[in-house]
Structure 1
Amino acid sequence: MSLPVLNPGDAIGLVSPAGAVRREQVQPGIDYLTSLGYICKLGQHAFSDNGLTSAPVERRLEDLHTFVADEEVKVIWALRGGYGSIQLLDRLEYGLFRGHPKILVGFSDITALQWALYARLGLPSLSGLTLTTQTRPENRYVSVGLEILSGRRKALVARDLSGESVQAFRSGEASGTLMAGTLSMICTLCGTPFWPKAEPIILALEDVNEPLYRIDRYFQQLRLMGFWENVAGLLLGKFLLDETEQDVLPLITPLVGPEVPIVYNLPYGHFSNALPFPSGVAARLQAEPFRLEWKGS
């Protein structure tokens, strides 16, 4: 599947597929992208507020489908997560995405859409860079995300993460499809037609405001599905509760095979200076020294 790349001068379609957002929350992010040379096109219902979600299902779909069909738009970018992506999964026009494949940039609740698009179409995405907090000049990893979207970056290495406390809990190498997202949102897809097929994966995980007992419940749910048997490599971001980092290693390490390399303390998660990951791409992981490379989006 040939995907358009994003370069300065290209258009980005900005949408709110899940929760509502106010213009003032995302205007600094929009201004930053504009200053870098990108054309930001807002969906008609980007700033709607329907209570639980930004807009009724039909209106959110309308914004997504409009930008998928728009030849000027190279990438679709969710303004924020929140709640509501799961309402769209069985109503998306997947054939339209197949005919006009585009990367969906988003995070948190948007994980459900990204994984569904991969499950149905093999469509890659970029996990991270919300417009509310992360797409800012202060976040050094915005440039990483834009390089991924341009097709110029095909790897992350230890020097890219200098100053971070990234560590290898278990060394080794692994190959598989890199899949990234928010743990609780991944689990909402269990047992649905939008669960990816069984294949070796390198899994990047994070979550927020989930206490350890609920995180373990999600891990155990995936264990009962046989999911961990397909995990060839594990990348752990931040699991924050009231802005405090929680240690999930004792919960997850008994569930994966002893040969599975594990890297933790990655700067991936619900905080401002967070790293984005490509998702749905063939990848290879070397735990120590850290190197993650992929074939492209």
Structure 2
Amino acid sequence: MNRKYFISSLVTSAIVFPSLKSRADFPVEEEISKIKIPPYLKPGDTIAITSPAGSISLSGIQPAVQLMESWGYKITIGSTIGKKDFTYGGTDKERLDDLQQQLDNPAIQAIMCARGGYGIVRIIDQLDFTEFIKHPKWLIGFSDVTVLHCHINQNFGIATLHAKMCNSFPDDWTKAEPIQISTILSIRQALAGEDFKYTAPTTQSNRLGKAEGVLVGGNLSIIASNSGTKSDLDTAGKILFLEDTGEYLYNIDRMFWNLKRTGKLAHLAGLIIGGFSAKPDDPGEIFGKTTEEIVMEKVKEYDYPVCFNFPSGHQRANFALKCGTQHLLEVGKEGSILRSL
């Protein structure tokens, strides 16, 4: 197991941090008071599973069902599980109706998206969040689910859970790697309301500092494509988390220019860069910059802390993060720490 990524108190005593970045320009207390945290789960509560993006079979979710039942939760399976409409988990209407039913059902305490892929943007503007606002519940997932995180965090101020989904649970828990076990158990810990502290190794590209703010973000491609929509994030005074996979470096550069040009990088409290696995450049089309260089070029004029190689994203080291809630980020000479507040 790579202990650098485990939820622990590693490197805490050894790190020396600059003073806390001032956030006098942002109404922090007012912002925190508006945060709505869904009730944390207790044994006997119900988690619903739906597939609002890509398709997945009933057998494909069974490892997740069995493990979450062993945690003491009841599991209800949505009508989209097992359905397939080309790449989607059912038609737009089927996926919309399934997710809507789970958002409206007061007997459900959390909704786990079965997998990512593509498709939530096709239904997001047709969803009715009236009952969800009255009775908030945890919405779990990452990748394409970033559409829901951004929309819910921005419009309703309700916390959501950026975390692994059913297709990331190992078929055989007894043979799972320690990092898989740790990251999946972090879902249980987050749903139970336990505080967390995640660590990341130091890198030469990190910019040292300490910042407090509401954590928002997720998949870079989704956040960039949300620009100008009802799901567009206001990042001022917040800690922004970003991750992505399977993109060419030139496209990563283009998306970071989008964030810069739309002002999303200008007034951050801090920036966290999670897993980024870029496609190799095409022959004769060498881009010439690394992901770290792309990022630092866009934020060089700002002074907030920047953390690279954070253990979250499209990778096995993908710990659960509570989007829309207050966090403390500390980027020091020996590594970085993110803790919930």
TM-score, scaled to structure 1: 0.89
1:135 CA displacement? 6.4
2:244 alignment partner AA: D
**Match for 1:277: what amino acid?**
L
Mapping 1:1-297, distance limit 5 Å: 1=36, 3-134=38-169, 137=173, 138=176, 139=180, 140-153=182-195, 155-158=196-199, 165=201, 167=203, 169-241=206-278, 247-256=290-299, 257-288=301-332, 290-295=336-341
Deviation per CA, 1:94-140, whole angstroms, max 9, x where unpaired?
Answer: 21221121121011001011111111101111112111024674311
1:197-239 CA-to-partner distances (Å, cap 9, x unmatched) read: 3521111111110011110010011111111113221111111
Distance, in Å, in 2 between the alignment partners of 1:46 and 1:250 is 41
Separation (CA, whole Å) in 2 of partners of 1:290 and 1:250? 19
Contact 2:63 2:169 in 1 (8 A): no
Q: Aligned with 2:125: secondary structure?
A: coil
Q: Which amino acid aligns with 1:207?
A: D
Structure 1: which amino acid aligns with 2:295?
I
Distance change >3 Å, CA 254–CA 178, structure 1 → 2: same
Aligned 8 A contact 1:11 1:41 in 2: yes
Contact preservation (8 Å) 2:274, 2:309:
yes
Greater share of strand: 1
SS of the equivalent of 1:210 reads strand
8 Å contact kept, 1:175–1:232? yes
CA separation of 1:272/1:219 partners in 2, compared to 1, >3 Å: closer, same or farther?
same
Q: Distance in 2 between matches of 1:253 and 1:184?
A: 18
Q: Distance in 2 between matches of 1:130 and 1:2?
A: 20
Of structures 1 and 2, the one with the larger relative CO (CA 8 A, separation 6+) is 2
SS at match of 2:166: coil
AA of the residue aligned to 1:213: Y
Aligned equivalents of 1:107, 1:183: Cα separation in 2: 11
SS in 2 for 1:223: helix
The aligned amino acid for 1:285 is L
Q: Which has the larger displacement, 54-63 or 40-49?
A: 54-63
Tell me, what secondary structure is at the counterpart of 2:66? helix
Letter in 2 for 1:294: S
Alpha-carbon separation, structure 1, partners of 2:154 and 2:202:
30
Report the Cα distance in structure 2 between the residues aligned to 1:124 and 1:88, rounded to whole angstroms.
20
Kept in 2, the 8 Å contact 1:22–1:47? The answer is yes
The percent of aligned pairs where both chains have the same amino acid is 29
Q: How many pairs are equivalent?
A: 288
> What is the one-letter code of the residue matched to 2:272?
L
Contact 2:235–2:268 (8 Å) recurs in 1: no
Question: What runs of 5+ residues in structure 2 fail to find an aligned partner?
Answer: 1-35, 281-288
Structure 1 residues not aligned, in runs of 5+? none
- What amino acid is aligned across from residue 60 of structure 2 in structure 1? Q
Contact 1:134 1:274 in 2 (8 A): no
Whole-Å separation in 2 of the counterparts to 1:224 and 1:129? 31
CA contact 2:235–2:265 (8 Å) conserved in 1: no
Question: Which has the larger displacement, 222-231 or 130-139?
Answer: 130-139
CA separation of 1:188/1:134 partners in 2, compared to 1, >3 Å: closer, same or farther?
farther
SS at match of 2:109: strand
Root mean square deviation of aligned Cα: 2.2
Letter in 2 for 1:90: D
